[in-house]
Copies of this chain bind each other. A is one copy, B any other.
Amino acid sequence: MIILGIDPGLRTTGFGVIHKQGARLRYIASGTIKSGEGDLPKRLKVILDGVGQVARQYQPDCAAIEQVFVNVNPQSTLLLGQARGAAICALVTAELAVAEYSPTQVKQAVVGTGRAVKAQVQAMVARLLALPGLPGTDAADALGVAICHAHSRETLTLIAGANAASGGTVAAAGLPGPLAGLRMKRGRLVG
């Protein structure tokens, strides 16, 4: 199963693509879509086209997008909402089911605590996907959303259903989390 994760933003939209096979997660791709300058409709089109292109290129089976914080500045909240709307439009146009997770849920799934800072998310994403280096923060958040979705009940149920339908065993049941054997200790990774 290929999962596309999206970290939405008006300026920068992060994307991350992972492959899940049983308990194993494998990195496929990640990056950012920059909306550039231009007026709002033009910038939304860049996001719509960019996310659409990622979906066409990597042919994910499902998608997940981070819920966004409400900004103290209402105008910023409105702009962010429109950017997130454009990203979701690209996903539903690609006929992908779209799951939503809060930043706290993503941090909990990736780092093990909802209060993790960005650097911890980057480090754990790199570790869980065996990356040679740290991904950028936007790409790391997007990969984090994809990892969070990979561990969600919904996804496990889908995989179980697919295996049952194909006569296979329910490989997703009772999977150990990717955090088995990994714990955060005072912000440093310990294996």
- Give A93's nearest chain B residue, CB to CB: B48
Given contacts A81-B80, A85-B83, A86-B89, contact A98 B41 (CB under 8 A): yes
Would B40 and A92 count as touching, CB distance under 8 A? no
Q: Are B44 and A100 in touch, CB under 8 angstroms? A: no
> How many copies of this chain sit in the oligomeric assembly?
2
Q: How far is the CA of A85 from the CA of B93 in the complex (A)?
A: 14
Q: A84 at the A/B interface (Cβ < 8 Å)?
A: yes
**Contact residues of A: prevailing secondary structure:** helix
CB nearest neighbor in B for A73: B70
Residue-wise interface mask of A (76-102) relative to B, using a CB-CB cutoff of 8 A (1 in contact, 0 not): 011111111110111111000110100
Name 15 interchain pairs, CB-CB below 8 A, sorted by A. Answer: A40-B88, A41-B92, A44-B85, A45-B89, A48-B92, A70-B75, A70-B77, A74-B74, A81-B84, A82-B84, A82-B85, A84-B85, A85-B89, A86-B89, A89-B89
User: How many chain A residues have a CB neighbour from B under 8 Å?
Assistant: 31
